Structure 1
Amino acid sequence: MLKKISAENIKELRNKTGAGMTDCKKALEDSDGQIEIAIEALRKKGLASADKKSSRLAAEGLVESYIHAGSRIGVLVEINCETDFVSRQPEFHQLAKDIAMQIAASQSIVYISKSDIPDDIIIYEQNLELQKEDLLDRPAEIKNQIVNGRLDKRLKELSLIDQVFIKNTEITVEELIKQHISLWGENIKIRRFEKFLLGEGLAIKNNNFKDEVSNMIQNK
C-alpha cells in the first residue's frame, strides 16, 4: 500500500531541492514517501536536465554585491540567466547573494571553474607537488597517482564551483547552480567576480615611534 503524500511532504521536498511541485509529488510517490530517496532521484534528474541546458545562451541576470561585517572584504559577482523574468525572481536574487557570500568566505578561490585555470598555473602547482619531500623515494607510478590526486584537490581549491556550499555542506556550488537550472528550466552561469580586500596591494609603512624620532634627529 502506497503511503499517502501530504502537501507538507511536498513542500518540505521542494524546500530541500528547489524542484517544482509536480516533480516533488511524483518523486515522493515513486519513493513511497521516503524523502531521502526522493531527494536523490530529483538530484539525479535535475543534474541531467541542467547539463542539457549548459550550452544555451544566458545574457540576462544581475550583478550582486556582498560586504562582510567590518567592511574589510567586498565582493562583486555577475550571474547570468536566459530571461529577464528569471532574473527578477526572489530565488535568483538569493542565489546571487549566496554566491557572493561564498566568494567572500572562500579565501583560496581565483577562478570560476577548473577549466578556467591557465596551463602555466597547473604546471606550476604540479611541479610543487612533485618536489615535496614525502614523495622523493616513492616508485614513479605511485608518485604520479599521489601527485594527480593532490593536484586535483589543489585545483578544486582554486575553483569557485567546486567549493562545498557554505549553507548546505552536502552539495557543491556547482550542484547549487544546477538545482536552480532545474527549478526554472533555464541555463544559469556565474560569468565573473571580483573580490576586494581592504589594503590589498598597498605597501604599508610600518615604522614605529622610536624609529621616527631617530630619523628626525639624524636628519637635523
Structure 2
Amino acid sequence: MASQIEKIKQLREETAAAMMDVKRALDESGGDLEGARRVLRERGQAIAAKKSGREATEGVIEVYKHFNGRVGVLVEINCETDFVARTDDFQRFTKNVALHIASMKPLCVSEDDIPADALNEEREIAEKQAAEMNKPENITKQIVEGRMRKWTGEQALLTQGFAKDPDITVGQLLQDTIQKVGENVVIRRFVRYEL
C-alpha cells in the first residue's frame, strides 16, 4: 500500500494532476507509472481541447534579452484571468517560450500563419530539387509534399521541437500548461530581434 501512496505522490508532483485523477490513472494502468503518465497526458489533452474555445484576454508580454545583448524577444501570451497570469506555472511557460523563440528563430506562431510568398518560394525550391532526381511524377510529388511538411513544421513555433526538450513540441508544452493552470492559454504573437 505504501508503494501506491508513493506512486500517487510522485505522479502528482510530476503532472500537477488532482489526487483522484492520479489514483484513477494508476488503477487503469494496473499500477504502472508509465501507463498512468500516458493516461494523464491523454486526459490533459482532452481537457485542453475543451478549454481552447474559451476567450483568453489576460496574460503577459514576456521579454527575453540574450546575455550578449544581441538577441531579444517580445512575446504576448494570454490566459483567461490575471490570477493565472501571476502563477509560477504560467510565468515559467512564458519564459520558456521566449527563450525558445530566441534560440530557434520561428517565422510565426502556427503553420497557418506562414506567409504565402515564403511557402511558394520554398515549394519552388523543393520542386526543382525533386525534379533533378529524375523520379516518376507521383514519387516526385510525394517528395515535394514531404519536404514541405517538414519545412512548415520547422518554421512554425507550435510545431517546433522545444529547445529544452526536443522530444516534445512547443504545442505539447502549451497543452501541458493548459492542463496545469486549468485555463485556456494562447501564444498570440511575438517579435524576435537580432543584431
Structure 2 runs not aligned, ≥5 long: none
Q: Quick one: distance in 2 between partners of 1:113 and 1:78?
A: 14
Any conservation in 2 of the 1:135–1:143 contact (CA below 8 Å)?
A: no
Name the TM-score, length of structure 2 as normaliser.
0.91
Q: Quick one: distance in 2 between partners of 1:18 and 1:131?
A: 49
Q: How does 1:42-121 map to 2 (within 5 A)?
A: 42-107=40-105, 109-121=106-118
CA shift, 1:120, in A, is 2.8
Q: Quick one: distance in 1 between partners of 2:139 and 2:157?
A: 29
Which stretch of the first structure deviates more once superposed, 17-26 or 161-170? 17-26
Show CA shifts across 1:168-208 (max 9, x none): 3321110111111122331100011111112xxxxxxxxxx
Q: Specify the structure having the higher radius of gyration (Cα).
A: 1
Q: Quick one: distance in 2 between partners of 1:12 and 1:57?
A: 33
CA shift, 1:4, in A, is 4.5
SS across alignment from 2:91: helix
SS across alignment from 1:170: strand
Q: Quick one: distance in 2 between partners of 1:98 and 1:87?
A: 15
Matched residues, number: 195
Any conservation in 1 of the 2:56–2:185 contact (CA below 8 Å)?
A: yes
Any conservation in 2 of the 1:5–1:29 contact (CA below 8 Å)?
A: no
Q: Which runs of at least 4 in structure 1 moved beyond 6 Å after TM superposition?
A: none
CA shift, 1:12, in A, is 2.7
Find out whether 1:150 has 2:144 as its counterpart.
no
User: Once the two structures are aligned, what percentage of the paired residues are identical?
Assistant: 43
Show CA shifts across 1:81-107 (max 9, x none): 011111111111001001001111103
CA shift, 1:24, in A, is 2.2
Q: Quick one: distance in 2 between partners of 1:79 and 1:10?
A: 32
Find the counterpart in structure 2 of residue 139 from structure 1. 136
Structure 1 runs not aligned, ≥5 long: 199-220
CA shift, 1:165, in A, is 1.5
Greater share of strand residues, 1 or 2? Answer: 2
Name the TM-score, length of structure 1 as normaliser.
0.81
Find the counterpart in structure 2 of residue 5 from structure 1. 4
Greater share of helix residues, 1 or 2? Answer: 2
CA shift, 1:124, in A, is 1.8
